[in-house]
Structure 1
Amino acid sequence: MGVALKDARRSVASWCRRHTIGGDGAVAAVRRGQRPGESKPLSRQQELELIEALRGSYPDGFGLDDELWSRQNLAALIQRRFDVSLELADVGAYMHAWGLGPREPRERACSLCADAVSRWMDHAYPAITRSALEHRAEVYWIGRTRLHGVVPAADVLSAASVRGRTRFMIASPAVDPPLPREFLLRLSGEAGRTIHAIVDGSWPTARWPRRLPPRIVLHPLPSCGRGA
């Protein structure tokens, strides 16, 4: 009986984690009418080439002056690689199609965790924002989504700030990769900005990086998949 209960809990936790990271990212989801004098959107093949170029790479590897991908430097890479000039809103539409962008805290939880997340928002989150304000730190919401329509499928890691800015990377192919230490270090930046990162249930805490600099403070969003 005890073994069966343990297996059931493990199955529920696994389902919850898959629900959190499953996302609805899709390739070639941005299509709309073209206005006169406007640059055409990327073709499906160009979008696939762009995603492949982004896998496991960072902007500074392309000579761009930033440490993680954003709308601005992604637009610059598209211009350089495909000679296509896109408005930032259009680049943001591609990012949205890939599952990136701000989400409500309850959207980052499975249905079984939604009430726990609501309580956490009422009691724990205000203390995090007060501490961040006191230390002039930035608050980020960190998670991942699965990008479909590419082979192999890609995990897109994102950090959405409370100011509305999204920074991201597309991870190299791996089976259930841990939360990358490099991603967090780059989010803090060379200047060593203090950040408070709220991590959703995409990763159990056992797969968080260890011995991070004190300037990087991680907070787990309630998730029944934490022990998975």
Structure 2
Amino acid sequence: MIAGVRDTRRLSPEAQEDLRRRVVAAVHGGMTQVEAARVFAVAPQSVSRWVQAWRKRGSKGLTGRRRGRKPGEQKALSARQQRKLRYAVAEHTPATFGLTGLVWTRKTVAELIRVRHGIVLNLRTVGNYLRSWGLSPQKPIRKAYEQDPESVRRWLEEDYPAIAARARREGALILWLDQTGIRSDATVARTWAPAGQTPVVGKTGKRFSVNAMCAIGNKGELYFTVYTGSFNGKVFLPFLDRLTRHLDRKVHLIVDGHPVHRRKTIQQWITKHAEAIEMHFLPGYSPELNPDEILNADLKRTMSTSTAPKTRDELKQAVRSFLHRLQKLPDRVRSYFGKPEVRYAA
């Protein structure tokens, strides 16, 4: 910066335009450009440039221009390149293009841009591109390689609609069932804390777990049992017996392909009580089709954020308390059927 010369960049666009007009008016009125530069504390080169602009374009030559780039101007990626990259990220995985990883990160997208177009971008710029393409970071749904797409299609378009129609004709209740385990050493959820200071949460150093089996309906029904040890017929049969005794209408119970569900003794019991209950199997390797999986996630998240049990009995009581409260919140249970993958069952 030249001594005695103001930095006009600090002025607002309106103030800059006003200054240019006053300088040009002074020169037009007889003041030399050198004198105008000294009086208005600006560089002589600026005075010369403003006078030339006024002579060429008149008053329009002194009008302030929008700062920064024009939309799309001087971007590293062309519009065509952006369209292709967006399609690649939205419709494919990194492996399709010989990159490592199962999911797209800013680093992976930056590597794709470098490989395909020879352009190196920092991660912040890559993130800006991703957002401008209407993309956002999301947790993906895991889908087993062994899943049969045809079985899933048949379940969604034929099998389940037929079950729902039968249940309506019979005045029966459809319930989805699943089991889950809750551990004392489960990962603690995130919390707010001063930057740079990792918070400490007290937990027992002992490892123990309890299990829960829940059956839910899309009107907010919830039936459960909490148990320890392995899931087997001695756990499943008493639950089925209590369920059918408690309800005054038939149950269509939807389960996964767990070996216990298919055990001969279980199937014999189901056949014997066919007027009270029928059991239907989800397509193999398709947990995302079971709304009870969302209840399981809610249960585990609640246990990791609101409890610090010191013994198995305390953990068991905490799980029971949560599920008892949930029985009184049918709207929350119904919300488990709102996720896109299970909305077919709502």
Q: Higher Cα Rg: structure 1 or 2? A: 2
When the two structures are superposed, what TM-score results if normalisation uses the length of structure 1?
0.44
Choose between structure 1 and 2 for higher RCO, CA contacts under 8 A separated by at least 6 residues. Answer: 1
When the two structures are superposed, what TM-score results if normalisation uses the length of structure 2?
0.30
Which structure has the highest helix share of the two?
A: 2
Which structure has the highest strand share of the two?
A: 1
